[in-house]
Amino acid sequence: MSNQISIGNLIKQGENIFINYKKQDAIIDARLLMMHLFDEDYTWILMNRDKIVPEHIKQSYIYLVAKRTQGIPLQYITNSQEFMGLNFYVDERVLIPRQDTETLVEQIIEISKTKSLKNAVEIGIGSGCISIALAHYINNLKIVGIDICKKALEVANKNINIYNYQDRISIINSDVFNEFTLEDELLDLVISNPPYITKDETPFLMKELHCEPKIALTDDNDGLTFYEIISKDAHNYLREGGIIAFEIAFNQAKNVSKLLYENNYNDIQVIKDLSGKDRVVIATK
């Protein structure tokens, strides 16, 4: 890359590098990295595309483009991912929030319009995106976020502090409910997006998924381990009429519904995501 270069031309060079590496989102990634370094939106980038890039930003851009060509997810490079209209800090300690998971949150928000939801537990809080989005859109809901991974809880805590929800979301380092103690009332909601990729599927995951924490992706079994544990244990903490809600893989609706039925849950519903695939199972105690 030349000594002096404009924002627009540097983005174009980044785009060409990504195209050579057969990156599907070459144009978008090249733009987003520049937006990240300038901490500006794309409108600003367009209006300043002829501006010469400062040397330190140029070098940083070259470095980040190289990281991206190595298969590191863009979200880990920028430490940012949007979810439910909110922006979250993410890094290699947590799973990257995905649009599919918004279906889970949207269903609970819809339920909250006709049913009082005051207290909840999230199993596997990760980045905190589900709990924080629920707290943001459902007034007065208090949530306990549980995760077995202390490093993930550090990220969740960071995001909770960013949104000032320390008084509404607390976190516990625990394997499912093992360290959880019910304080006052029984729970209105237990929610989870557990590791559901099977052991057999793991070797065939996209390259970028191998950058994400394995413990958040797979149970190293049949993909149903945590649905079974949570379905059984949640019964001890949910009030009558309380809700249990899971994100699932597109092919797990039948098996997860069966587990819920066997654990005496009622009104079992399967909800599809925007692409028409089974994505959420919700039931009532």
Residues 45 and 109 in one domain: no
User: Between the CA of residue 281 and those of 84, 95, 227, what are the distances in Å?
Assistant: 19, 20, 11
Last residue of a domain, one of 70, 101, 125: 70
Query: In this predicted structure, what is the pLDDT of residue 1?
Result: 45
Q: Quick check: is 250 in a domain? A: yes
**Cα 207–65–72 angle (5° rounding)?**
25
* Whole-Å CA distances, 151 to 83, 131, 158, 166: 21, 17, 11, 18
**61 vs 279: CA distance, rounded Å:** 37
CA–CA distances in Å: residue 196 to residues 73, 190, 205: 20, 17, 13
With both helix axes pointing from N to C terminus, report the angle between 225-234 and 253-262 in degrees, rounded to the nearest 10: 30
Question: Is 75 domain-assigned?
Answer: no
- How many structural domains compose the chain? 2
Residues 122 and 238 in one domain: yes
User: Looking at 27, 47, 70, which one is the last position of a domain?
Assistant: 70
Note whether residue 1 is domain-resident: no
H or E stretch covering 249: none
In a domain, 100, yes or no: yes
What sign has the CA pseudo-torsion 251, 153, 88, 133? positive
Mark whether 132 and 180 lie in a shared domain. yes
pLDDT for residue 208 = 76
- Asked if 255 and 227 sit in the same domain, the reply is yes
Q: What are phi and psi of 180, to 5 degrees?
A: -90, 135
Do 228 and 258 belong together in one domain? yes
145 and 90, same structural domain? Answer: yes
Domain that holds residue 21: 7-70
Residue 221 and residue 113 in one domain: yes
Nearest partner of 88 among 125, 44, 52, 124, judged by Cα: 125
Judged by DSSP in three states, 272 sits in strand
209 membership: H or E segment, kind and range: none
- Among 96, 100, 95, smallest CA distance to 252 is for 100
Residues 12 and 99 grouped into a single domain: no
pLDDT given at position 41: 94
**Would residue 79 count as lying in a domain?**
no
- Of 24, 42, 70, the residue at which a domain comes to its end is 70
pLDDT at 160: 98
Can you say whether residue 105 is alpha, beta or left, with left for phi > 0 and alpha for psi between -120 and 50 degrees? alpha
CATH number of the domain encompassing residue 270: 3.40.50.150
89 plus 66 within the same structural domain: no
For each of the chain's 285 residues, which pLDDT tens digit applies?
448 999 999 999 999 999 998 777 899 999 999 999 999 999 999 999 999 999 999 999 999 999 999 989 999 999 999 999 999 999 999 999 999 999 999 999 999 999 999 999 999 999 999 999 999 999 999 999 999 999 999 999 999 999 999 999 999 999 999 999 988 889 999 999 999 888 888 877 777 777 888 888 887 888 899 999 999 999 999 999 999 999 999 999 999 999 999 999 999 999 999 999 999 999 999
User: What SS3 state is found at 173?
Assistant: strand
Note the residue count of the chain.
Answer: 285
Q: What tokens does 94 get?
A: 């947590």
Q: What is the dihedral of CA 185, 189, 195, 196, to 10 degrees?
A: 140
- 22 three-class SS: coil
Under DSSP, is residue 238 helix (H, G, I), strand (E, B) or coil?
A: strand
Q: Are residues 103 and 216 part of one domain?
A: yes
* 265 lies in some domain: yes
How many other C-beta atoms can be found within 10 angstroms of the C-beta atom of residue 36? 17
Whether 54 and 88 map to the same domain: the answer is no
Domain annotation covers residue 2:
no
Question: Are 261 and 178 contained in the same domain?
Answer: yes
Global pTM reads: 0.92
- The DSSP secondary-structure symbol of 39 reads T
**76 falls within a domain:** no
- Identify residue 112 by its one-letter amino acid code: S
- What pLDDT score was predicted for residue 23? 75
